[in-house]
């Protein structure tokens, strides 16, 4: 599924983010930036040791913040590392931290002249954020950013598996409807 926002495109794809050809891919890292499981492990395995060498010099990354390295052996030129919230029931500021993780990743892309980037579904694996809620937060934040900034041409969400893809598709359909009602 694909929608246009101003001159930008927002696209949902089912797949594996390590084979993405956008200029940057975003990593759902942990705050040490020293590697982990899930998408983080997959990115480091596919990108090779130079990404970890660069990460070691960054001094970690608090939740909601984003940092950048090169893409090592990946097709993507850059990896933007961000850290989502650990879900603790929803009343501990998780949504705001998740919004910040997306917003700061997009800002990092803009600051580095990156025009296309791909996101995984941050926090919905080991960090336990329910997909239905996380997908709405993620998409709403990216849509707002693209409405306000024209420098990014393409944002892709690479959803790992059918279940994640369908949750994002449902959220995007409902958010687009809500927006068109407001116009
Ligand atoms: P977090 O700790 O932020 O929850 P995880 O890596 O555990 O991070 O999971 C985040 C999401 O990334 C999950 O929905 C998981 O299914 C997905 N994921 C895992 N591997 C990949 C991959 N290679 N490409 C894209 N998404 C992936």
Contact 8, 153 (CB under 8 A): yes
Name which of 154, 152, 57, 66 is nearest 103 in CA terms.
66
Handedness of CA 144, 132, 85, 38 (dihedral sign): negative
- The CATH number linked to 49 is 3.40.220.10
Atom of ligand 1 nearest to the CA of 16: 24
Ligand 1 shell residues, CB under 6 Å: 16-18, 28, 38-40, 42, 84, 120-127, 158, 160, 164
Total number of domains constituting the chain: 1
78-82: average pLDDT: 98
Using most ligand atoms within 8 A of CB, pick from 125, 127, 130, 158 the residue to mutate for ligand 1: 125
In 5-112, alpha helices (H): 38-47, 49-56, 94-111
Tens-place pLDDT, residues 123-149: 999 999 999 999 999 999 999 999 999
Atom of ligand 1 nearest to the CA of 83: 3
Atom of ligand 1 nearest to the CA of 37: 6
**Alpha-carbon distance 64 to 94, whole Å?**
10
Using most ligand atoms within 8 A of CB, pick from 40, 160, 165, 168 the residue to mutate for ligand 1: 160
Whether residue 99 has pLDDT greater than 80? yes
**What predicted TM-score, i.e. pTM, was given to this entire model?**
0.97
Which residue has the least CA distance to atom 16 on ligand 1? 160
Atom of ligand 1 nearest to the CA of 158: 25
Handedness of CA 62, 175, 134, 54 (dihedral sign): negative
Which residue has the least CA distance to atom 19 on ligand 1? 39
Using most ligand atoms within 8 A of CB, pick from 19, 29, 39, 45 the residue to mutate for ligand 1: 39
Range of the domain at 128: 2-182
Tens-place pLDDT, residues 151-177: 999 999 999 999 999 999 999 999 998
Contact 136, 175 (CB under 8 A): yes
Share of the chain above pLDDT 70, in %: 98
Tell me which residues are annotated as active site: 40
């Amino acid at each position: 599924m694909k929608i246009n926002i101003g001159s930008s495109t927002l696209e949902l794809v089912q797949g594996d983010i390590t084979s993405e050809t956008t200029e940057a891919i975003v990593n759902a890292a942990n705050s040490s930036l020293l590697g982990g499981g899930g998408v983080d492990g997959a990115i480091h395995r596919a990108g090779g040791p130079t990404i970890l060498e660069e990460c070691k010099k960054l001094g970690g990354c608090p939740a909601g913040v984003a940092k950048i390295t090169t893409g090592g052996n990946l097709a993507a030129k850059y990896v933007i590392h961000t850290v989502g919230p650990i879900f603790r029931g929803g009343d501990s500021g998780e949504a705001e931290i998740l919004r910040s993780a997306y917003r700061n990743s997009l800002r990092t892309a803009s600051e580095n002249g990156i025009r296309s980037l791909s996101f995984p579904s941050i926090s919905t694996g080991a960090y336990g954020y329910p997909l239905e809620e996380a997908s709405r937060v993620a998409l709403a934040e990216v849509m707002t950013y693209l409405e306000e900034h024209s420098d990014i041409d393409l944002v892709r969400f690479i959803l790992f598996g059918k279940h994640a893809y369908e949750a994002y598709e449902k959220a995007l359909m409902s958010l687009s409807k809500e927006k068109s009602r407001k116009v």
